[in-house]
A and B are shown apart, each in its own frame.
Chain A
């Protein structure tokens, strides 16, 4: 086993080049080639037809919605949309592929030659060239029972064909060069950018944890950017943004070690291990199967009319980058503030909070402050914190109306988070409303003055400094539910100062 080279050292001496293939499952109602429903978590093998089970005699029919979604993706990635394109059969035997061939696009993708700008955490824009985006169908899902859960050593395997035939679009980059030591970050930001675009286009739920978006990451090293490309490895099915970054980082360190030792990088597919962030050898590509691609004779070419393509283009929603620029302008955030909001995944939440009536500043205060802390404590993402933007807006309104103060607001927030209902309901149920009844307050003020006669004396004597102690005692007596300003007024009035 070769030694890993320290990452910083590796990228000083080698120039990494990336290639990323992203698969996205489209959120169509039915599958790519038949009317079986696309659904997550259904009873195994319940979402199938003779077509998606590959039964004898069954024939595919292209899902028009999937073609539309593929075109949307192609246009959002600044691609050319083919005037005509075909499906092909990729032949290989595997039990999760019901026909023992995958219907895919080979030499005629629906979209090609595009680009997408990727924004890094510090605001740098990095352009990634897109070679192609093509349509294909997903495979079923194998579950290996017994042993380690991998196929080797398993007692038996089960196949669920619910996923078989779900439409996929695969997006392939051209070699990503010039990222240098930021290659892992670029890889991560690229996949994240695509995920955001898929969501904005409404073509997929794009949930990484469900495998709606999967990335295969190719990495190669060369001594300098002037050298020809080195031998690449392909790390398959990397399924989170963080893993994409880690996989690239690991491969750079590993390949540098191989090259340092005077060995050659083997062209192969590799598996990524979430537990320790390493990759391990899969199968060697040089003896990879011959897929015997040929045009799918059961389908006719897909020939989207130019009118249709233009119609789809005209209907494209605002894309994430443009939207961020617009929202930053509307909200008046500084660049650094906006970047933090974006990196925290708070854009949608703040937008919704503002829409529910809060000011942009207040919305940012909540989501980037108290709620970000809560999320961090619970190790969840911001949108998984159990409070809605509307509830935050309501909470802020209660403060603005003087019905609660900032301190009480935290208690209200706790109440919402533990499921006691909307802020309004929490305030009522817990009796947290500011005590605005002067009679009740005066009673407390009198009691506080009586308890601390020396301080009362000083204040009466014109020394307003210690008045805070009296106010503090009143706040304590009212469990913090008094308006401190009003208490101060009442104290001074009582003393006659």
Chain B
């Protein structure tokens, strides 16, 4: 039989259901792959072999007993370390949480466990999901499987790299400004940011509550749909969770995979291309548009005039919320506690010492920025204005979706850059998310589908955006594009990535 680590999750699930491979075998194969390549990739912060194999064993037994199981039962998964997992270390990539073992599971983890997916471990990320390269992790860089000297994107570089390196068929990411989609683009994987409120945030260590959303990281569009359906749905523990059910995503992906896009209006966003985008990125984007058109889609040019202000608004709202969300990390109840090196030991001074030592520079930068933006006398000028821009961006989306069923753009302006290249230039780093941020500000869903390699041989991504609660459209158009591209290529893009082991 073929190497199970090369299978898509859907294919592996079929093999498991047919009894051609056991979950223990599949899980062990992925653990072996991790052992073989993760020394180079560093996608995982923690590998939970025993727990994963125990789950796999349990699923194999239940399957043997004839129990009806979830379609993804027994398919291993990796979880971004910003998601709280009971009994497994959860650091959010920060020293301040080193050694913390959560006493509870995030809702999405409960759902994963209930469905019987062995959790392989926790993946690396920029500290508290703040970054676009995973270089802000307190636990070392993750390396892009396409070129180990390059960044895997961020903040969810660990999840994307794990999936791209065949260490896991499925992973969970979180996306506040592009942290699922941009790593997807630069690693040649599929990443989806669901509609805000469609996947519970209960148990996600919050960066910016009004922007954060968890979603799937996979190698195929169908796999994302399967995982999205598993983790999505209403959760009474998250007040911002959407009560109603979304249309079937898996059906939409299967429909899209027929390659038929007749009657679908695709809006090309004027403001998300051109200056600042690599030539190779733009070339692949144009070729993908041509493919969609050939498959029956109608292309329309749409303008979203306020998108150029999205990044500015984002860098006020996100740090403002983060400055408050991260206040709880104070050394009082959990995680790191640092005694002041001199002077009296008071609660306030312990908090200051803990935060001073426990947080990295990027986190401190954003806390300071956010604290400033919320301060009396500055609130209206900064936070208040940013919220107004947010409303204008939401209106831009509403107008655009009146003209088109989905909007499209390149996911990221460039391919993966070299490790260290932008570390000292935060503004250049922030520009990576210029195309992904508007969706977070408006709460609409987006997907990144790999659509080829640029002139430098590195993968690029094609972003599709849909109206809130119309996540099914992402899957229909995304699966169609994937089908059309793979027909052209003759194989998935990742099959051309370098062998690591």
Contacts and interface: CB of A to CB of B under 8 A. Distances in A.
Contact of B202 (A58, A294, A300): A58
A333 interface: no
B347 to A, nearest CB: 5
Contacts of B238: 59, 61
B303 interface: no
Contact of A57 (B84, B321, B374): B84
Contact of A61 (B83, B236, B348): B236
Contacts of B347: 94-95, 157
Nearest to A56: B205
B103 A297 contact: no
Nearest to A91: B324
A241 B332 CA distance: 36
Contacts of B208: 297
Contacts of A292: 323-324, 371, 374-376, 379
B327 A99 contact: yes
A61 B90 CA distance: 23
A60 B333 CA distance: 18
B334 interface: yes
Main secondary structure of the interface of A (DSSP, over half): loop
Contacts of A298: 206, 209, 239-240
User: Most A CB atoms within 10 A — which of B104, B239, B379?
Assistant: B239
A294 B327 contact: no
B315 interface: no
B321 A297 contact: yes
B472 interface: no
A294 B372 CA distance: 13
A93 interface: yes
A57 B206 contact: yes
B374 A294 contact: yes
Interface in A296-339: 297-300
A98 interface: yes
A57 B106 contact: yes
Interface string B258-294: 0000000000000000000000000000000000000
A53 interface: yes
Contacts of B383: 294
Contact of A297 (B92, B209, B323, B376): B209
Interface string A89-108: 10101110011110000000
How extensive is the interface on chain A, given as a class? 20 to 34
A297 B370 CA distance: 14
B324 A294 contact: yes
B324 A95 contact: no
Interface in B372-388: 374-376, 379, 383
B62 interface: no
Contacts of A91: 323-324, 327, 374
B71 to A, nearest CB: 27
B237 interface: yes
A93 B329 CA distance: 10
Nearest to A62: B239
A54 interface: yes
B351 A89 contact: no
Given A56-B92, A57-B204, A57-B205, A50 B103 contact: yes
Contacts of B330: 93, 95, 100
Interface in B301-333: 320-321, 323-324, 327-330, 332-333
Most B CB contacts (10 A, CB to CB) among A290, A294, A299 go to A294
B373 to A, nearest CB: 9
Interface string B322-355: 0110011110111000000000000110010000
B333 A98 contact: yes
B203 interface: yes
Contacts of B333: 53-55, 98
Interface in A139-193: 157, 159
Contacts of B379: 292, 294
Given A53-B333, A93-B351, A298-B209, A59 B201 contact: yes
A95 B351 CA distance: 9
Contact of B327 (A55, A61, A93, A157): A93
Question: For B106, B327, B334, which residue has the most chain A Cβ atoms within 10 angstroms?
Answer: B327
B328 A57 contact: no
B102 A57 contact: yes
A299 B204 CA distance: 15
B320 A294 contact: yes
Contact of B334 (A55, A94, A101, A297): A55
Nearest to B348: A93
B169 to A, nearest CB: 25
Nearest to B109: A57
B104 A55 contact: yes
B454 interface: no
A101 B97 CA distance: 19
Nearest to B238: A59
B202 A57 contact: yes
Interface string A23-60: 00000000000000000000000000010011111111
Interface in A249-274: none
B239 A59 contact: yes
B239 A60 contact: yes
A300 B375 contact: no
Contact of A59 (B237, B327, B334, B348): B237
B327 A300 contact: no
B239 A55 contact: no
A95 to B, nearest CB: 5
Interface in B381-413: 383
A482 to B, nearest CB: 73
B48 interface: no
Contacts of A59: 201-202, 237-239
Contacts of B205: 56-57
* Listed residue (A55, A101, A299) with the most chain B CB atoms within 10 angstroms of its CB: A55
A48 to B, nearest CB: 10
A56 B328 contact: yes
Nearest to A34: B237
B328 A95 contact: no
Pick the 3 closest A-B CB pairs, nearest first: A100-B327, A297-B209, A292-B374
Given A57-B204, A292-B375, 8 more contacts: A55-B103, A55-B334, A56-B84, A56-B90, A56-B328, A57-B83, A58-B203, A100-B327
15 contacts: A54-B333, A56-B205, A56-B329, A57-B106, A60-B239, A61-B237, A91-B324, A93-B351, A100-B327, A290-B375, A290-B376, A292-B324, A292-B379, A294-B324, A294-B379
